[in-house]
């Protein structure tokens, strides 16, 4: 049975030493068998991370907490009267889009300092995302830059950050912080609270805690990487539990394909593992349109739906003039 003690943690500094081979093996095993890993000494300054945490928590307290308390009161009242509130997430969240076009300047209730800090942090996270993608290419035997290019589409990748707070919940039996799901996109890098836990992944039929670690960045595999790797790497179900104490901070950055990027298994991997389940070829935006309606369901029917849609397109008769 998996445990927190065996959760894959990589000291990224080891990639520059004689320990590189062992570190790359931890990343390979994590991608194939966990869908998650945690990175230490990843190159993002601790001072910047501390400031991101400080301003994010202050922003929630100053701008979002009272609104959330009203939402929470109404939801708990309904739940205690017997209403099913399991389809509602106990989270306060907003989304910052970085690429292809930033919305940072347009966000309400965000001061200039917060914008500056978030812009700097996003720049560092984007660089780390692309570094991680190249490490995955190396492990997979793909040419350097293959995954970044596969995500590019005509305008480069889609890149954004979800800033979330999971406040204390007096009735964790009634509601989840965030319901179980896989992530739709590519590679997700998470800066999570090191004091308040709650994030869990599903491994071998058991829920396993993703351990909070000071100044760590958690990486997880999205559905698109499962397709491109022809199933060698797997996106996994994960969730956030509610807790009766502590307000958990979560800053998740999504490095995803561009809207018009065409996603399909890398030919080298598909040829090397022809016995694996054939994954579909599709446009990322089409997958996202399906995902938003079925996020909290199993991923396999989504893949099957995209495969069926592709077969219909290929089977359609060609019009002649």
Q: Residue 309's pLDDT is what?
A: 82
Q: Quickly tell me which residue has 């030493």 as its tokens.
A: 17
Which among 60-64, 106-110, 277-281 has the top mean pLDDT? Answer: 60-64
pLDDT over 50 at 46, yes or no: yes
Instruction: Supply the mean pLDDT for the chain.
Output: 93
What is the domain count for the chain?
A: 1
Q: What is the pTM of this model?
A: 0.92
Alpha-carbon distance 259 to 235, whole Å? 20
Report if residue 315 sits inside a domain: no
Alpha-carbon distance 41 to 13, whole Å? 6
Report if residue 317 sits inside a domain: no
Q: Residue 316's pLDDT is what?
A: 47
Q: How confident is the model at residue 17 (pLDDT cuts 50, 70, 90)?
A: very high
Q: Residue 278's pLDDT is what?
A: 79
255-270 average pLDDT score: 95
Q: How confident is the model at residue 274 (pLDDT cuts 50, 70, 90)?
A: low
122-150 average pLDDT score: 97
pLDDT over 90 at 121, yes or no: yes
Report if residue 247 sits inside a domain: yes
Length of the chain: 321
Q: Quickly tell me which residue has 């990175």 as its tokens.
A: 39
Burial (0-12, 13-18, 19+ Cβ within 10 Å), 186: buried
Q: Residue 5's pLDDT is what?
A: 60
Three-state secondary structure call for residue 257: coil
Alpha-carbon distance 183 to 178, whole Å? 12
- The conformational region for residue 84 under phi > 0 = left, psi -120 to 50 = alpha, else beta, is beta
pLDDT over 60 at 313, yes or no: no
Q: E strands within the chain?
A: 9-11, 36-40, 92-99, 158-166, 178-181, 187-192, 199-203, 206-209, 217-221, 238-240, 248-256, 262-263, 282-283
pLDDT over 90 at 67, yes or no: yes
pLDDT over 70 at 193, yes or no: yes
Backbone angles phi, psi at 84, to 5 degrees: -85, 110
170's enclosing H/E stretch is none
Q: Residue 321's pLDDT is what?
A: 42
pLDDT over 70 at 312, yes or no: no
Domain that holds residue 173: 7-310
Q: Indicate which CATH number applies to the domain containing 77.
A: 2.60.120.330
21-34 average pLDDT score: 97
Report if residue 55 sits inside a domain: yes
Report if residue 29 sits inside a domain: yes
Report if residue 246 sits inside a domain: yes
Per the CB < 8 A criterion, the answer to whether 165 and 93 are in contact is yes
Report if residue 222 sits inside a domain: yes
Q: How confident is the model at residue 86 (pLDDT cuts 50, 70, 90)?
A: confident
Residue 113's contacts (CB-CB under 8 Å, 6 or more residues apart) are: 55
Report if residue 241 sits inside a domain: yes
197-220 average pLDDT score: 96
Per the CB < 8 A criterion, the answer to whether 76 and 170 are in contact is yes
4-25 average pLDDT score: 93
Alpha-carbon distance 293 to 171, whole Å? 27
pLDDT over 50 at 273, yes or no: yes
Residue of higher predicted confidence among 320 and 51: 51
């Amino acid at each position: 049975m998996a445990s927190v003690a065996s959760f894959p943690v990589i000291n990224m500094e080891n990639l520059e030493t004689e320990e590189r081979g062992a570190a790359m093996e931890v990343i390979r095993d994590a991608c194939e068998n966990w869908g998650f890993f945690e990175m230490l000494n990843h190159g993002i300054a601790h001072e910047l991370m501390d400031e991101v945490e400080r301003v994010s928590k202050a922003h929630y307290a100053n701008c979002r907490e009272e609104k959330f308390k009203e939402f929470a009161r109404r939801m708990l009242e309904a739940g205690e009267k017997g209403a099913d509130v399991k389809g509602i997430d106990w989270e306060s969240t907003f989304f910052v889009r970085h690429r292809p076009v930033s919305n940072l300047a347009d966000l309400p209730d965000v001061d200039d300092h917060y914008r500056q800090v978030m812009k700097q942090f996003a720049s560092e996270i984007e660089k780390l995302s692309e570094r991680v993608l190249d490490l995955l290419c190396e492990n997979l035997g793909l040419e350097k830059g293959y995954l970044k290019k596969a995500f590019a589409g005509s305008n480069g990748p889609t890149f954004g950050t979800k800033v979330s707070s999971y406040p204390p919940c007096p009735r964790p039996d009634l509601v989840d912080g965030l319901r179980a799901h896989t992530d739709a996109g590519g590679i997700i890098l998470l800066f999570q609270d090191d004091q308040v836990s709650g994030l869990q992944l599903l491994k071998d039929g058991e829920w396993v805690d993703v351990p909070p670690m000071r100044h760590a960045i958690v990486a997880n595999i999205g559905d698109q990487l499962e397709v491109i790797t022809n199933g060698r790497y797997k996106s996994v179900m994960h969730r956030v539990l509610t807790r009766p104490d502590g307000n958990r901070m979560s800053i998740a950055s999504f490095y995803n394909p561009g809207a018009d990027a065409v996603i399909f298994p890398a030919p080298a991997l598909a040829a090397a593992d022809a016995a694996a389940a054939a994954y579909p070829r599709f446009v990322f935006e089409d997958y996202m349109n399906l995902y938003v309606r079925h996020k909290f369901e199993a991923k396999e029917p989504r893949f099957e739906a995209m495969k069926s849609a592709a077969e219909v397109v290929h089977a359609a008769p060609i019009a002649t003039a």
